[in-house]
Structure 1
Amino acid sequence: MLIHPMGRFKKQICRFVLDYFDQTYTRELGELWPTVREVLTEPGLWQYAVLLNSFHPSTETERNLLTLGYRLLSSDSFSSCRGILKCYVTSRPGKYPSQRHQTGKIKEYYMLNASSLLPVFALDAKDGETVLDMCAAPGGKSIALLQSASLGHLHCNEPDLHRHMWLRKTLESFVPPSRTDVLSTSCLDGRLMGKLTARSYDKVLVDAPCSNDRSWLFSSETESAKSRISERKALPELQTELLGSAINALRPGGTLVYSTCTLSKAENSDVISNILNSRTDVASVDLSHMTRAFSQDFTFAPQIPYGLLVVPDKGKSWGPMFVSKLIKL
């Protein structure tokens, strides 16, 4: 059974946000925007993926997914994660039933937007490495990181107290006690971590706070939406500071991945450009091989500087998801 993504109540589009997006993304995305707009504004077209929990495998769940027409996300010839991370996708809209959190019980799978795994694939964590997930809530990427390799340590940080509790609940739901010895959490401002944990990590993931396009479109109150749009202008400065802190937390030779779930050029490529223009100790890593490896499942915007951008498309409604990779020299 698939659950309709709109649920019992129809979501209401905020006209103010949509008008703002029309103005901004017509300029930035050009001919791509009409299709992206149609998908973003119609939750009935949205797709949801199912990431199986390798710590609690279920052949019954896997059989059910195959019966419903799901297939494994294509990542052949790309990453050492393949065969470990089992993410099932379908071209049909709808949502597989979620599992409720139960204290002391491990869930069998995690529901997610399939494109949110791309930062994990790009980071390409290896056995024994020490990894920081700087803005970790709600925890889906942390779960994927733990399952992608036998990490030496994974530090999951989330500065917002409410979201930090959400993160801890997610980890409790998916990680058995026997595997928590490599896991730690904190509730710190990510901008401080470069000083507090300087040169401590082999790899860092910065899934930065951003103007989440999907959720912003369905803001219920115009005044609240206006406030968010106004605050959007300050986000690139915060994102740049988080990215700078992440670089400081890296060991020389270490790599980091910066990601957002917005189409905004100011929060994506421009942030990376700001960092590359202001620092001499980092360089951009080419991710064109990822667009080739995942072209079957995702639609990528062309000619995106310093990374890749997944744009929602019909039958491929994943994203938005921007991914960029840097190496510390």
Structure 2
Amino acid sequence: MSRKNRKKQKPVFPKEIPQEFFDRLTAMFGDALSSELQQTFIERPTTFRVNTLRAKTTDILAVLKEKEFELEQVAWLSDTYILRNKEKRDICDLDIYTDAQIYLQSIASMIPPLVLDPKPGDTVLDLTAAPGSKTSQMAIMMKQEGELVANDKNKIRFFKLKHNMEQQGVIKMSSPYQGELEGVGRNDEHSLSADTTGARTKDPSQPPLVGEENWKVTLRMEPGTVLLQEYEQYFDKILLDAPCSSEARFVSTNNKTFGYWKDRKVKEMAYTQRRLLLSAWKSLKPGGTLVYSTCTFAPEENEMQIDRLLERFDDVQVLPVEIPDVERLPIMKEWEGKTLSPEVQKCFRVKPTKDIEGFFIAKLQKK
């Protein structure tokens, strides 16, 4: 049978979260806390932030009040709300969603940009950016002033990133591209880039456009380790929200969320993360800040990545991470017989709840 006619077999997923994963969770946190965490693999309520590049928060709240949406504001995140009485599909039917005046994003996903804290005028990299949730969040924080580079190596994800940046008002619509489209495969290592400038509607109620001389956005489709060869000690701030095994996003009633998990997957992700983190560090300016984050529990993908970076470079300073009103999980002091640097204790593990998924965040400064 030819490859063309051969039917692609659908993956067979386990019906339950693997016991091996729960055993690892117990080894990390002990019986009591592990049992508590097992109750958090649930569907969470819809959360969103107002896209202040497109709308005013007061106007959005007025629309939702008229439509009888019950919201809870997240006090420690700007313009962020939890939907309490309706479903995701209900808010997606509204014009404020289709017009990109709001952006659906999990609360935990908003934390890494908050910790990185990009400012107007900074030179910032979002290394693994698609679909662009954190990229657009950082553009708002930068007030569209400075330079923002967003990269994703996967062609499909790259164009999702581009679409979202246009829709959210981070870049102009239909920005020209430099690079060859033809022959660029889904995971091809060819370059595809777009230099763009910020764009908002000319509605007088909106903040004024930022001039080209003040706002530069570059979208790139490159393997991160290749891209960073062009940017030696270039960035003030780097966000590496690393590809990971996504353990904190497991939902016990949806086996697609955990169907690909294996101990081998953790090791594969750890290898990829290590290469990205080492390359990103070389692209950070002295005095610059890098935030490394994942949505997984595995120490191989979290604490051990920071420990290895400390062993590799003598100019790494781990900064303490404190997030108000967010519960934390213990940081590992050792794992599988390896004692970790005490500096790793300054990292932050978000404890999952009914509203927020687990996350790991490390904030690093180059001396």
Deviation, structure 1 residue 265: 1.5
Matched, 1:252 2:252: no
1:213-228 to structure 2, matched below 5 A, reads 213=247, 214-215=249-250, 218-220=254-256, 225=260, 228=262
Higher helix share: 1
Q: Do 1:310 and 1:320's aligned partners in 2 also have CA atoms closer than 8 Å?
A: yes
Greater relative contact order (Cα < 8 A, sep 6+): 1
1:70-85 to structure 2, matched below 5 A, reads 70-75=71-76, 85=78
Matched, 1:189 2:223: yes
Give the match for residue 36 of structure 1: 37
Deviation, structure 1 residue 16: 5.9
Q: Do 2:266 and 2:298's aligned partners in 1 also have CA atoms closer than 8 Å?
A: no
Secondary structure, in 3 states, of the residue corresponding to 2:299? coil
Task: Give the whole-Å Cα distance in 1 for the aligned partners of 2:328 and 2:87.
Answer: 22
Secondary structure, in 3 states, of the residue corresponding to 2:163? helix
Gapped runs of 5+ residues in structure 2? 1-11, 173-196, 200-214, 333-344
Q: Do 1:65 and 1:88's aligned partners in 2 also have CA atoms closer than 8 Å?
A: no
Deviation, structure 1 residue 15: 4.1
Q: Residues 320 and 91 of structure 1: is their aligned pair in 2 closer, same or farther, counting only changes over 3 Å?
A: farther
Give the match for residue 19 of structure 2: 19
Task: Give the whole-Å Cα distance in 1 for the aligned partners of 2:320 and 2:20.
Answer: 31
Q: Residues 232 and 204 of structure 1: is their aligned pair in 2 closer, same or farther, counting only changes over 3 Å?
A: same
What amino acid is the match of 1:124?
A: D
Q: Do 2:124 and 2:235's aligned partners in 1 also have CA atoms closer than 8 Å?
A: yes
Deviation string 1:95-121 (CA, Å, 9 cap, x unpaired) is: 37454899xx74111111101111011
Matched, 1:161 2:139: no
What amino acid is the match of 2:28?
A: E
Matched, 1:49 2:43: no
- My pick for the range that moved more, 64-73 or 278-287, is 64-73
Q: Residues 250 and 92 of structure 1: is their aligned pair in 2 closer, same or farther, counting only changes over 3 Å?
A: farther
Number of residue equivalences: 295
Deviation string 1:208-248 (CA, Å, 9 cap, x unpaired) is: 000012258644499x636x542321211211111111111
Secondary structure, in 3 states, of the residue corresponding to 1:193? helix
Q: Residues 220 and 275 of structure 1: is their aligned pair in 2 closer, same or farther, counting only changes over 3 Å?
A: same
Task: Give the whole-Å Cα distance in 2 for the aligned partners of 1:90 and 1:119.
Answer: 22
1:252-271 to structure 2, matched below 5 A, reads 252-271=286-305
**What is the percent sequence identity of the aligned residues?**
25
Gapped runs of 5+ residues in structure 1? 1-11, 76-81
Deviation, structure 1 residue 86: 1.2
TM-score for both structures, normalised by structure 1: 0.80
Q: Residues 269 and 118 of structure 1: is their aligned pair in 2 closer, same or farther, counting only changes over 3 Å?
A: same
TM-score for both structures, normalised by structure 2: 0.73
Deviation, structure 1 residue 166: 1.2
What amino acid is the match of 1:301?
A: L
What amino acid is the match of 2:60?
A: T
Q: Residues 26 and 92 of structure 1: is their aligned pair in 2 closer, same or farther, counting only changes over 3 Å?
A: farther
Give the match for residue 142 of structure 1: 135
Q: Do 1:133 and 1:204's aligned partners in 2 also have CA atoms closer than 8 Å?
A: yes
Deviation, structure 1 residue 274: 0.9
Computed over aligned residues only, the root mean square deviation of the Cα atoms, in angstroms, reads 2.8
Deviation, structure 1 residue 61: 2.7
What amino acid is the match of 1:302?
A: P
The counterpart of 1:278, out of the listed 296, 312, 326, is 312
Matched, 1:302 2:330: yes
Task: Give the whole-Å Cα distance in 1 for the aligned partners of 2:246 and 2:330.
Answer: 21
What amino acid is the match of 2:40?
A: V
